[in-house]
Amino acid sequence: MFTEWPKADVVIGNPPYLGRRKMVEELGSAYTQRLAAAYPAVGGVSDYVCYWFPKAHDHLAKGGRAGLVATNSVRQNESREASLDYVVDNGGVIFDAVSTQPWSGDAKVFVSIVNWAKGIDVKPKLLWLNDGNLRLAVDRIPSSLAPTADVRSAVPLAVNQRPRVCFQGQTPGITQGYVIDEVVVDRLLESGGRSARSVIHPFLGGRELLEKTAIDRWVIDVPWGDLSDLERMPGVYQHLKQYVLPERRRLYERELARNEAGSTHSSGYRPESQHELFMSRWWQFWRHRTDMLNALSPLDRYIATSRVSSTSRTSVFAYVDKAVRPGDSLTAFAFDDDYSFGILSSAVHRAWLEARCSTLKGDLRYTPTTCPFTGACEDARAAPVVPGAVRRV
């Protein structure tokens, strides 16, 4: 990314694909921090490929053209803002694009193919849908690469932000230590009694929600920050010490090694401290989701859906007993009424989901910050209905 480019009339490329969470591991902390400093607008969970769009566009002369193949994340949320929004906001006109299609190579990814011009209009404009098999002539191709509403016009609705009602489920972090089966549950309860029961909960993931009718996994969730409280439950303490602590220590030592390497290569390197923090409370979840648990606690049940769903079937929503902890493969809603259930299950919400979600390969991924009815579009066809709002107005 830091090689000097000349001004160009044409830029064609297939930039490298690398998910945000793998960038530090693959590229190194020092390089990743240098990227962040050079491109402050590229943040969140944006794919590495997003950096190449502003770079390519900035090096085009007026009237120049560019064509890049990228993961289909470039048309979604923060990745779109960093890549295609930047192109469109800086004089770029997308004139030919494949919205999404499976990659023809060995990598199991879905890609978008985007061709644009800088500072000039190009006609006709062609948008390819249905895995690149449907050719659609349009007047304008928005940065979302969708023929319907332009989701860039969405603005937050306060009614669904305060209080917050939509959450990603809990992320234990080290599954083999925290997620347990019935045999382990019985053993820990036998050794820990009532106190152990307070930290062992039924656990539900997206696959179980869709395919099973009974709970067959439990989770050890210790909310306290004081290790002495945990030591009063020797069975639970020894289990977590055996299955969680070694992995926490390994990740912490890897972080120390990265910091040493990063400081050697760059005087401006900022040491990482994430795993140092978790070592200080190694017995606790990676993401406890306290705000979610507080929102669900007054309810007898809540509504949940799988975070990842197929494009070929409607989304499945279900009531879940509040005693069951949702895993991070679920999206949980702090609603217990049939009205809200109906709204979430509606075709209107499904259309909004398809416009605002991210994707996992070719599947839809429910993103709690963008997919709930938390925004309104100028396009009336995409105007949302807010669960509960009719009763409050």
Q: Which tens digit of pLDDT belongs to each residue from 268-287?
A: 788 888 888 889 889 998 88
pLDDT band, residue 381 (cuts 50/70/90) = very low
Q: Which of 340, 298, 291 is nearest to 322 (CA)?
A: 298
Average pLDDT, the chain: 84
162 burial via Cβ count (<10 Å: 0-12, 13-18, 19+): exposed
What the chain holds in terms of domains, given with CATH numbers, is 8-147 (3.40.50.150), 149-171+298-393 (no CATH), 247-279 (no CATH)
pLDDT digit string, tens, across residues 314-337: 788 999 999 999 999 999 999 999
The pLDDT value recorded for residue 376 is 39
Question: CA dist 307 to 115, 347, 353, Å?
Answer: 31, 17, 11
Beta partners for 320? 302
Could you tell me how far CA 285 lies from the centroid of its own chain? 18
Whole-model pTM: value is 0.72
Comparing 75-84, 119-128, 180-189, which segment has the lowest mean pLDDT?
Answer: 75-84
Residue recorded with tokens 């879905």: 110
Residue 386 has pLDDT above 80, yes or no: no
The pLDDT value recorded for residue 360 is 64
Per-residue tokens: 343: 């709204």
pLDDT band, residue 308 (cuts 50/70/90) = confident
What percentage of the chain exceeds 90 in pLDDT? 41
How are strands ordered across the β-sheet holding 179-180? 179-180, 218-220, 200-204, 325-326
Residue 379 has pLDDT above 50, yes or no: no
pLDDT digit string, tens, across residues 148-204: 766 676 776 777 677 888 899 999 988 889 999 999 999 998 886 778 888 999 999
Distance CA 155, CA 196 (A): 45
Q: Which of 72, 87, 7, 8 is nearest to 41 (CA)?
A: 87
Q: Which of 204, 221, 211 is nearest to 303 (CA)?
A: 204
Mean pLDDT for the stretch of residues 244-264: 89
- Count of Cβ atoms closer than 10 Å to residue 4 Cβ: 5
Q: Which of 55, 77, 76, 74 is nearest to 66 (CA)?
A: 55
Q: Apex CA 284: angle with CA 290 and CA 257, to 5°? A: 120
Residue 391 has pLDDT above 80, yes or no: no
Can you spell out the DSSP letters for 22-48? HHHHHH-HHHHHHHHHH-TT--TT--G
pLDDT band, residue 362 (cuts 50/70/90) = low
pLDDT band, residue 47 (cuts 50/70/90) = confident
Distance CA 85, CA 101 (A): 21
Distance CA 93, CA 123 (A): 10
Residue 359 has pLDDT above 70, yes or no: no
Beta partners for 363? 360
